[in-house]
Structure 1
Amino acid sequence: MKIAHLILAHSEPGQLARLIRALEHPDAYFFLHIDAKASLDPFRFLAARERVFLLNERVKVGWGAYSIVQATINGFRAIAASDLSIDYVNLLSGSDYPLKYPDEIHRFFQEHQPDNFMQYELVMEDWKEAIPRLTEYHLTNYAFPGKYMVQKWMNKLLPARQVPDHLVPVGRSQWMSLTMDAVRFILQYLDSHPRFVNFFKHTWAPDELVFQTILYNSDFRAKMVNDNLRYIRWLEGKASPEILTETDLTKLLNSGAIFARKFDVLSSSGLLDQLDKKILNHT
């Protein structure tokens, strides 16, 4: 069972190295997209590790912009172009951490082929707060003076947007674990549907919608499991998940999740040490 961990990171190379160490396995490979806004130099030492690859095609990632979708796609393409015969692609951020031993992780995916693990809800029925993302124009992915004024007038003067090809929009968390077959299908779909790509370039936070929508409207729907295998603690009204600390240890260990986020190099250091001791037997 070969797993490619695609990790999106922008800072804290030491924390990223710790994440890789926690996931190391003879059949684990690491493809790292380092935000183009950050210097690559502090991360170059990671490429000296076995089975670790730094992506050459980097983008400047903006919060809520299509750029994070593009960063993910660049990783997908690098994995697909490799000669590694990958079975699963596991999307992580640099602030994630595993809650299981690497052998357990690989065994889990071996036993659950060909399932694809991603959180999703029907936007028009269950996640209605996301409807304006689709019906209104958003210029989050662009940088030019006065863009928000342009966006305002576009939404005043133009008709409401509609998802191309009558697709049923679904989505939620961007973090997911997909079979390589699903990843190849996504890449083929994006290459052959430029209207779909253009639509989501004008959508706010499309990373939470693009991949779920493609698979849900295909034969892969039957192989989608509505579980992203992550423990993430949200507080109502907050746009970002809470930083996990030692007070979360028991909940993490009892969650049944395989991965968790979000960890901070300072606030979560004690928790990471406890996880290493209890899960990885590292001291």
Structure 2
Amino acid sequence: MTVRAAVLIQAHQHPDLIRALVDSLRHPAIDVYLHIDAKVPLEPFERAVPDGGSVTYLRGDRRIDVRWGGLSQIEATVALLRAARHSGRRYTRYALLSGADLRIAPLDDVLRAWDSPTEFLRLDRRLAGAGVRPPARVSRLHFPDHDNRVLRRLDGRIPRRVDTTIDLYQGSQWWALTDAAVDHVLAFLDAHPSWIRFHRHTFGPDEIVVHSIVAASPRRDRIAQDFTAATEEERHEVQLHGMHFVDWSDLLATSPRVLTPADASRLRASGALFARKVEPATAARLIAALDGETVA
């Protein structure tokens, strides 16, 4: 096995959950890079997961004030990617996780999957391109990274011309990409600054930017899941999102269902490497259930 992985974790709360996630990833072939939202103190996370060795925190101006639905999500992701790439270590796999994730597959199985050419990414729908009427999330101006009340009142009300540099695709934010795909993503961003500026006013670019670039790349045929021809109901029936089990079965939900110990058997049978999302109140019992322990 020749994989060397950089695990990139974005988080803003629950240091103990992050400790459990990082501890579950302890392996000589894995280094962890942590981006903690600039709005919250770093110290509680450092106490839970000390810096050094295989763990690196982003600090100073590399920490981003992340806003839900904003380009700041992508800025934090790119900061993590560049930190890993400039570390002096050579990685063959980059995996983006959240602080509310849980490893559910044996670590050897995770590394085996990552030691492959597969791009663990899910495409759910094409948002812009020939024959597609772009939805409001890209065809209107949004201001999720702004606190200005006037701009927030205008959010989604002002039409704009969609950037046609590449077709736009949308899917689950979380992925695990090969070094070849990451090289392509970063090179594209460096070569197309106006394209990424366009997404400053897209809603949810964390679900669009990387997906669109990889879909337009020579790595397209390596993408794990392409549901762009499926119906909404068919998409919601499949809980595997790239390498994650995520329960979006409720068509009206605005966030995935929080997983509990009762989901352990579904998670074990899913074929996923990770699951989200979990919360502190039930995480320990879910981990115990996955390990086959008796759950009180």
- Aligned counterpart for 1:253 among listed residues 261, 265, 268: 268
Secondary structure, in 3 states, of the residue corresponding to 1:8? strand
Aligned to 1:135: 139
Q: CA deviation at 1:70?
A: 0.6
**Is structure 2 residue 84 aligned with structure 1 residue 82?**
no
Question: Which residue pairs with 2:63 in the alignment?
Answer: 58
Q: 2:72 aligns with which of 59, 64, 67?
A: 67
Query: After superposition, where does 1:122-201 map in structure 2 within 5 Å?
Result: 122-124=125-127, 131-151=135-155, 154-155=158-159, 160-165=160-165, 167-201=166-200
SS in 1 for 2:282: coil
> SS at the partner of 1:146?
helix
**TM-score, normalising length: structure 1:** 0.89
Gaps of 5+ in 1: none
Q: 1:174–1:208: 8 Å Cα contact kept in structure 2?
A: yes
Q: 1:130 to 1:22 in 2, by over 3 A?
A: farther
Q: Is the Cα–Cα contact under 8 Å of residues 257 and 277 in structure 2 kept in the other structure?
A: yes
| Structure 1 CA distance for aligned equivalents of residues 51 and 194 of structure 2 | 40
Q: How does 1:1-283 map to 2 (within 5 A)?
A: 1-45=3-47, 46-48=49-51, 50-56=53-59, 57-110=62-115, 112=116, 114-124=117-127, 131-151=135-155, 154-155=158-159, 160-165=160-165, 167-226=166-225, 228-234=242-248, 235-275=250-290, 277-278=291-292
Tell whether the 8 Å contact from 2:184 to 2:217 is kept in structure 1 after alignment. Answer: no
Distance in 2 (alpha carbons) for counterparts of 1:98 and 1:180: 22
RMSD value, Cα: 2.0
The CA deviation at 1:16 is 0.5
User: How big is each residue's C-alpha offset from its partner over 1:104-128, in whole Å with a ceiling of 9 and x where there is no partner?
Assistant: 2112222x2x221101033249xx8
C-alpha displacement at 1:38, in angstroms? 0.7
Name whichever structure is richer in helix by fraction: 1
Q: TM-score by structure 2 length? A: 0.85
Distance 2:8 2:183 in 1: 15
Deviation at 1:49, TM superposition (A): 5.3
Q: How many residues align?
A: 269
**Aligned residue number for residue 238 of structure 2:** none
Deviation at 1:142, TM superposition (A): 2.0
The alpha-carbon distance between structure 1 residues 133 and 63, as it changes in their structure 2 partners (threshold 3 A), is: same
Conserved 8 A contact 1:163-1:169: no
Q: CA deviation at 1:88?
A: 0.4
Cα drift, residue 4 of structure 1: 0.9
On the 8 A contact 1:4/1:86 being kept in 2, the answer is yes
Task: Report deviation, 1:236.
Answer: 1.8
SS of residue matched to 2:167: coil
Distance 1:48 1:152, change over 3 A: closer
Aligned to 2:232: none
What CA distance in whole angstroms lies between the structure 1 residues aligned with 2:58 and 2:86?
12
